[in-house]
Amino acid sequence: MVESKVTLYHNPRCSKSRNTLAILQKNGVKPLIVEYLKAPLNSRQISELCKKLKMSPTKLLRTGEATFKEYYSGQSLDDKDAINAMVSHPILMERPIIVCGDQAIIGRPPENALTILKT
């Protein structure tokens, strides 16, 4: 496999994340894997990811997670609140995220990984 400048923000317990990794590897990409649940991102890193995704932090939140419902149910979160929630509870960050240079994409569906490889 070819070493690349692709980073995968990965949760190995997530089937979409595992499938995205498999697609990358099948296409000869050996990404830098960041298991963000073991190595949580800080607020600056999440902000940078959002810029690369061209997405607001509130859109990156997994609002269906039990953790979200437990801590934030009924609250109206702004972007700063959303970032703080993801810093405090990394499970709330959408996954997987593929970063290639200044671009990023969410691997849902996993085939989205192919679109970023073509750029």
- Kindly list the catalytic residues: 14
CA Rg, the chain, in Å?
Answer: 14
Let me know if 39 is exposed, middle or buried by CB neighbors in 10 A (0-12, 13-18, 19+): exposed
CA dihedral 9, 13, 15, 17 (to 10 degrees): 10
88: its two tokens: 């405090």
